[in-house]
Chains A and B, each alone.
Chain A
Amino acid sequence: MNLLSIVWKSIRQRSLASSLTALSVALGVALMIAVLVINGVVGRIFSQSGSGYDLVVGAQGGSELQLVLSSIYRIGKPYDNLPWRFYEELQDYAGVDQVIPLCFGDTTSEEEGSFPIIGTLPRFFGTNYAPGRSFGIKKGGEILKGTWDAVIGSEVARVNGWDMGSTFKMVHGGVQDHVHDEEFTVTGVLAPTGTPNDRTVYIHLRGFFMLDDHAKPASEAIERNAALFGENIEELRIQYADLLKKEEAAKKSGQHVHHHDGIPDIQKEVTALLVLTKAPTASIFLTSKLKEGVIAQAVNPVFVMQQLMQNLVGNVRYALMVLTGLIIVVSGIGIFVSIYNSMSDRKREIAIMRALGASRQQVFSIILLESVVLTVGGGLLGLLLGHGLVFAAAPIVTARSGLLINPMHFETIELWILPALLAMAIVIGILPGQTAYRTDVAKALYD
């Protein structure tokens, strides 16, 4: 028999109070673990998802955050589109390695999950969506070879039960009663990435531009190009007289202009551009150069998301941590009250042990150890419960948000939980321990 077994006996003697107090710590720790793990996942997704690209370029006028959220996280829409000509010119900028156009705004139907649809080029899938992480595709799949091909994220496939060969139609601008006639066929299913890519449908840019209403009206396009690139508007009207005539005729007949050979470049627009540069200095140079103009702005997605994390998400995380920390402290107070209240009943027990030769230090240690066993034991149980909770919640969170959560992932901060609980246990145990230490043996034995 040793001190620990004496402590265990004492805990078992008051099993209900002991288990309830330990459980309260366990629940506090479990909540903290859940917050930590989910926050860690969200944090990593926000900090890494866009970090595969050096710059995101969009139209001037909107906020940097709006641009990044829409183009990388598929949340909301950017302020405006960019003319196709800008995309072509940007590829020739010094230091630019690759420019990937993204056209978005359309979605799948409501019944099919309202997933965002992005028109892009096959080379999008050749880039890393996060550092060192490249896209994987289900065996037998193809990356946007044909005009009406589509590649879907893993969550889109799961929710809709889609696989290679599945077909769907696009809802224009997310407005449910405006469905494009053209049908796209799934030719590739992406492997899960744990990023918004899982909840996205990709179609070929070529197909995107074949659809009605995806071309800017010729008159507006000419005016815009003239304004943005400093061209003579009259010369442009002469150059694109055919387009203007077609537009006029369509207006009179109340029909859409059909571009059977695809939209002319002047009427094409892209929503955002993902840019890979040859060197970090090129990113800085490009950002400042675009700032001088009136067309576009370039932002570093990682920098923008870091700011968001620090200013908003970081504070929410901090608040949650403080709350769960308080829950644990309240549980700790519960343990203190439980042990302290038991001390008057245990004076005789302590006096007997002292009479049998236990020193003051030993009875102090017994009480302190009891506090440690309840608190740290509760904490260990909480660690298991917390990861169990995340394990149980992971499929639900993935289904609802597309975030991939690894329940077995440990946050570094978790390493501090047990030492912190140990410190708390010691603080909790000191006062009852002192009561045991000061017990008047002769008085307690014969009372």
Chain B
Amino acid sequence: MSLLLQYVRKSYREPDGSPLPVLNIQRFEIKPAEQVALIGQSGGGKTTLLNVVSGITAVDSGLVQVDGVDVSKLPEVSRDRFRAERIGIVFQTFNLLPAFSALENVLLGMTFSGKVDRPYARSLLEQVGLSHRLNHRPGQLSVGEQQRVSVARALANRPKLMLADEPTASVDMAHQETILTLLRTACSENNVSLLLVTHSPEVSAQFERVEELTAFNKPEAAA
């Protein structure tokens, strides 16, 4: 199993101190190399789910197993390391560092796993069609090119699971298709499972498996 969530609960605190349940998941899983589109309303907990899976946010209880490891039981430092080594993240707003070139942004993804592999970073950028833009900074790249850099960066550490948070929301329709194809192809070629959050029916329609968050997340039941 690439991802397994069981009995996962996560609440935030309201300003008055009362708990605000966001996640209450009995079971959710993704098989190796499987690609899943996750849809749901804004504020429904999609981003929190991605943060919980990546170990950025700690759960209150439950099992968060990625590639056979229960992330929720790891101390924070190990979670960070685990995220660097096994999980790739593509953000809606790309989140490239403006002072770094395309190649350096990809290398940055490798830095924290301790495995900097410059030839592989170059090959990833070539794979996403940016071999001619290696030394360009994000400000010198088009929106579509920036998102391609972020896909290459997410693949930098040969992850087992790719998390994509509305990766096509910031690009126009023409680029949407390109980005999506790129992401899915890259995950397939590299045998990486993909969990992609989207609002777009056009995007979700391309996935064989589409999950509605409310179908397996029942926060109101935890209240």
- Residues on A lying within 8 angstroms of B by beta carbon are 1-3, 6, 9-10, 12-13, 348-349, 352-362, 441-442, 445-446
Contacts and interface: CB of A to CB of B under 8 A. Distances in A.
Size range of the chain B interface in the assembly? 20 to 34
A354 B111 CA distance: 11
Interface string B89-122: 1010001011110001001111111001000000
B160 interface: no
Contacts of B95: 348, 352, 355, 445
Chain A CB within 10 Å, residue with most, of B110, B112, B153: B112
Given A352-B97, A354-B56, A359-B77, A442 B51 contact: yes
B77 A361 contact: yes
Interface string B62-86: 0000000000000011001101110
B81 A359 contact: yes
B104 A349 contact: no
Interface in B134-148: none
A357 B54 CA distance: 10
B188 to A, nearest CB: 23
B181 interface: no
A361 B80 CA distance: 11
Interface string B27-59: 000000000000000000001100100101100
Nearest to A441: B56
A358 B99 CA distance: 18
A9 B100 contact: yes
B78 to A, nearest CB: 9
B69 to A, nearest CB: 14
B56 A357 contact: no
B91 A357 contact: no
B112 A353 contact: yes
Contacts of A361: 77
A357 B47 contact: no
B97 A357 contact: no
Which of A3, A9, A354, A356 has the most chain B CB atoms inside 10 A of its CB? A356
Please classify the interface of chain A as helix (H, G, I), strand (E, B), loop, or mixed, using the class held by over half of its residues.
helix
A9 B97 CA distance: 10
Contacts of B99: 9-10, 12-13
B113 A357 contact: yes
Given A353-B108, A360-B77, 19 more contacts: A1-B108, A1-B111, A348-B95, A349-B97, A353-B97, A355-B54, A355-B56, A355-B83, A356-B84, A356-B109, A356-B111, A357-B81, A357-B83, A358-B84, A358-B112, A441-B56, A442-B47, A442-B48, A442-B51
Contacts of A358: 80, 84, 111-112
Contacts of A356: 83-84, 89, 108-109, 111-112, 153
Contact of B112 (A10, A12, A362, A445): A362
Nearest to A1: B107
Nearest to A351: B95
Pairs of residues from A and B, 10 with the lowest C-beta to C-beta distance, nearest first:
A357-B84, A357-B112, A13-B99, A1-B107, A359-B80, A358-B112, A352-B95, A9-B99, A357-B83, A1-B111
Contacts of B83: 355-357
Contacts of B80: 354, 357-360
B76 A360 contact: yes
Contacts of A9: 97, 99-100, 104
Contacts of A10: 99
Contacts of B112: 353, 356-359, 362
14 contacts: A2-B111, A348-B95, A352-B95, A353-B112, A355-B91, A356-B112, A357-B81, A357-B85, A357-B113, A357-B157, A358-B111, A359-B80, A361-B77, A442-B51
A355 B76 contact: no
A158 B85 CA distance: 73
By CB atoms of chain B within 10 A, which of A1, A354, A441 has the most? Answer: A1
Contacts of A357: 80-81, 83-85, 109, 112-113, 157
B104 A13 contact: no
